[in-house]
Amino acid sequence: MGDIGKAAIFGAAGAIGPHVAAELNRRGVSFRVVGRNKARLQAAFGSMAHAEVFDADASDLRSASAAARGMDTIVYTVGLPYPSHRLHPELMRTTLQAAIAMQVKRIVLVSSVYAYGAPRTSTVAESHPREPHTRKGRYRKEQEDLVLEADAKGQIQGAIVRLPDFYGPGADNSLANPIFRAALAGKTANWIGPDNTAHEFVFVPDTGAVIADVAACPEAYGQAWNYGGPGPINTLDFISKIYRAVGRAPKYRTAGRGLLKMLGWFNPVMRELPEMLYLEETPVILDDSRLLALLPATRKTSYDEGIRDTLDWMRRA
């Protein structure tokens, strides 16, 4: 393992950033948490001994440059709501300009499965073609290409970590966390798409160590790495496990393409969902054997343990 040096987490207050921060803090790495809302950053990270709170706007070159100044590594965890996915390439372009100008050595982009498009194989390795057929997938591919091209040009070392759907503490913008909240309240959960296909979820606290390890591994740069969950699980089985963990029978309903299109007349988020239904109909199950060979100590929390921990966190929150 190499040395991360001083690190900045762009988009630190999202679903993944807090877990990267917790891991860097545990390792004694000095890091800067970057986001637009200083009060939110202070509340989330102010108690961490090795954290520096820095409010900045990644869409503004001057602001992004100030956030990147003096850093050795940027971990880019910026998440965007579906209606704003078009901004992914634009924000990455600005971040790379800032990082290169400030002589940052490395950048790690946390990405998704969207760039692969519909899977051609039962499991998807990094060698699988990236042929996205959705707008959001094309934005993600363009974002990834910017990082890989900058690395190929020798401007900065770049690595990509691709994640599937996630759940767990702080991941309330995921598809999964609302199921937990419905189960705790004794309500009916909502699911998008079919309920009888395999799916994959990663427990968000697991991502912190993996992303930090990739950032610290010289051999990881210049390429992308898959990191999946503990294995595929039938969607209904996942929902049932959550309800059983709170002592209730599963209660859920599904929304198909027709209903989503109708809801999209009134809701911009719902309007974006039909093109992503392929992820439920022909799921992308990640093959992360290359990453596990590179980082053999990588841990994966089982679904049963992750569900218990998520419910405990929600009860305390």
Beta-bridge partner residues of 202:
166
Beta-bridge partner residues of 107:
74, 158
| Strand 223-226 to 157-163 pairing | parallel
**pLDDT for position 82:** 83
Residue 262 has pLDDT above 90, yes or no: no
For residues 223-236, give the mean pLDDT.
96
Band the pLDDT of 8: cuts 50, 70, 90. Answer: very high
Band the pLDDT of 222: cuts 50, 70, 90. Answer: very high
**pLDDT for position 194:** 84
- Least Cα distance to 277 among 264, 286, 265 occurs for 264
**pLDDT for position 203:** 98
Q: Are 311 and 246 in contact (CB under 8 A)?
A: yes
- Give dist(CA 275, CA 18) in Å, integer: 29
Task: Note the pLDDT tens digit of each residue in 242-254.
Answer: 999 999 999 998 8
Residue 265 has pLDDT above 90, yes or no: no
- Give dist(CA 309, CA 169) in Å, integer: 8
> What percent of the chain is modeled with pLDDT above 70?
95
Residue 144 has pLDDT above 70, yes or no: yes
- Give dist(CA 114, CA 71) in Å, integer: 29
Mean pLDDT of the residues in the chain: 94
**pLDDT for position 254:** 82
- CA 107, distance to chain mean position in Å, is 15
Task: Note the pLDDT tens digit of each residue in 126-141.
Answer: 999 999 999 999 999 9
- Least Cα distance to 240 among 283, 199, 300, 284 occurs for 199
Q: To which residue do tokens 């966390």 refer?
A: 177
Task: Note the pLDDT tens digit of each residue in 72-101.
Answer: 999 999 999 888 999 999 999 999 999 999
Band the pLDDT of 264: cuts 50, 70, 90. Answer: low
pTM listed for this prediction: 0.95
What torsion do the CA atoms of 202, 30, 215, 56 make, to the nearest 10 degrees?
A: 80
Task: Note the pLDDT tens digit of each residue in 26-67.
Answer: 999 999 999 999 999 999 999 999 999 999 999 999 999 999
Query: Which homologous superfamily is 7-167+200-230+283-300 in?
Result: NAD(P)-binding Rossmann-like Domain (3.40.50.720)
**pLDDT for position 253:** 87
Residue 260 has pLDDT above 80, yes or no: no
- Give dist(CA 68, CA 290) in Å, integer: 30
